[in-house]
Structure 1
Amino acid sequence: MSSNNFYQNQAQDYCEQTFGIDPSSFLLPLTRYLQPGASILDIGCGTGRDMLWLHNKGFYCTGLDCAPALAELARQHTGLPVIEADFESFDFSGLKEDALLMVGALVHVPHEKFKTVFKHMLQALKVQGTILITLKKGQGTEIRSDGREFYLWQKDDLFQTFSDFSLVCLEYFEQESKIRSSDIWMSFVLQRRNPHRQED
């Protein structure tokens, strides 16, 4: 089963496993850099847990998820707009968000495609905008019994990638997964800088 099929076919089980997790520990660092009422696009919003938390803190959130079943659950949980789309092909250029949320959104993107997909998403971010992205720490890949393939990262490789896009890391922290203690999530709070930088 591909990752996309998993999230569509197992939406309710996935919701029961993840929706009740308190996201404060990884969302609070992002909010410190946002103005009240800031607009946030939650890419890979899942069942809407993080959108709901941010909405309750006074932020304006829109979700995006490729699995219709998850998108519908997110709408039910939050009452907020959710776009059904594949983030690899969606046209982000019409959006200008204060912040992008990518909590686990890119864990299934192969290493060799990461920069292309990430750059594509950055079209939705305002100048001086902020990003929270979380990825799993490790080497290579991990294939779960449910068929999902996770791509693992080292922080220095990601720091270099973010620097290539003129993104400054405001905060970096690691947390043990609340579902699987063997998994370590790396969180990066980033801000876009040097908007007028000349290309070489």
Structure 2
Amino acid sequence: MSNKTLNYYNQHAQDFNDSTLNIDMSSLYGEFLPLIEPYGHILDAGCGSARDAIYFKQQGFRVSAFDASEKLASIASRNLNQVVEVSTFQTMNSQNQYDGIWCCASLLHVPKIDLPLAFLNLQNAMTNKGVLYVSFKYGDLEREQNGRIFTDLNEAMLENLIARLVELKIVKQWQSVDQRPDRKTEIWLNALIRKETEN
């Protein structure tokens, strides 16, 4: 995450929490959670308000979470009633730890040049047969909007990224509209990606 984007989230952490905490994400949960073993360990990576981690915890999953923004991680810790780490996709170094990793509107702040490393770290952090959910704003640009830097992806760009990683296979890709009432014109690329090791 760029310093500009990080500064944005630290300066607007409470507003961001208030505007995202109660969005209905049930359609996306319905795609992801059936692929995770019951009571499995899910990482909410770039968790923001921890809205999704809260839901996963309520469903009986073990949950960990991190966010790059210190201010958001502090708010998320209170919301989730457990510690939310301050970390980034580029620095995560877990090995074979998570049955599922949820990256909802978070990888889109990783610079395009760093996405291969981010996906490698995510691959390494998952157990065999683990499932990764990712979402990006639909497009093919790196751009700045409202004080934040975004990396947009389309299906072909995501396929090219995942093709570099021998243990990751795309299960499904689909497009969806933003769930916020004032953002209905924004299109998202969603994907489910499974880790499959040789042994």
Same fold (TM over 0.5): yes
8 Å Cα contact 2:70-2:86 kept in structure 1: yes
In the alignment, structure 1 residue 186 sits paired with structure 2 residue 159? no
Distance (Å, rounded) in 1 between the aligned partners of 2:190 and 2:63: 20
Q: Deviations over 1:22-70 (max 9, x none)?
A: 1111122111111110100111011110001111111111101121211
Structure 2 residue aligned with 1:102 = 103
1:62-141 equivalences under 5 Å are 62-93=64-95, 96-141=97-142
Consecutive unaligned residues of structure 2, counting only runs of 5 or more, are none
Distance (Å, rounded) in 2 between the aligned partners of 1:135 and 1:169: 15
AA aligned to 1:73 is I
Of residues 18, 22, 34 in structure 2, which corresponds to 1:32? Answer: 34
Distance (Å, rounded) in 1 between the aligned partners of 2:62 and 2:197: 26
AA aligned to 2:64 is T
Structure 1 residue aligned with 2:14 = 12
TM-score, structure 1 as length reference: 0.90
AA aligned to 1:118 is F
8 Å Cα contact 2:108-2:150 kept in structure 1: yes
- SS of structure 2 residue aligned to 1:161: helix
Shift of 1:2: 0.7
AA aligned to 1:137 is Y
8 Å Cα contact 2:48-2:72 kept in structure 1: yes
Shift of 1:185: 1.1
Shift of 1:71: 1.1
8 Å Cα contact 1:172-1:187 kept in structure 2: yes
8 Å Cα contact 1:127-1:195 kept in structure 2: no
8 Å Cα contact 2:50-2:76 kept in structure 1: yes
Percent identity between the two aligned chains: 23
Distance (Å, rounded) in 2 between the aligned partners of 1:139 and 1:90: 26
Superposed CA RMSD: 1.7
Shift of 1:175: 0.9
In the alignment, structure 1 residue 154 sits paired with structure 2 residue 164? no
Structure 1 residue aligned with 2:51 = 49
AA aligned to 2:40 is A
Q: Deviations over 1:68-94 (max 9, x none)?
A: 21112112112133111233223324x
Q: Deviations over 1:73-132 (max 9, x none)?
A: 112112133111233223324x61111111111111222221122212322111121111
Consecutive unaligned residues of structure 1, counting only runs of 5 or more, are none
Query: Mean Cα displacement is larger for which, 157-166 or 67-76?
Result: 157-166
Distance (Å, rounded) in 1 between the aligned partners of 2:100 and 2:51: 17
The aligned length equals 194
Shift of 1:141: 2.6
Shift of 1:159: 1.7
TM-score, structure 2 as length reference: 0.90
- SS of structure 1 residue aligned to 2:102: strand
Structure 2 residue aligned with 1:174 = 175
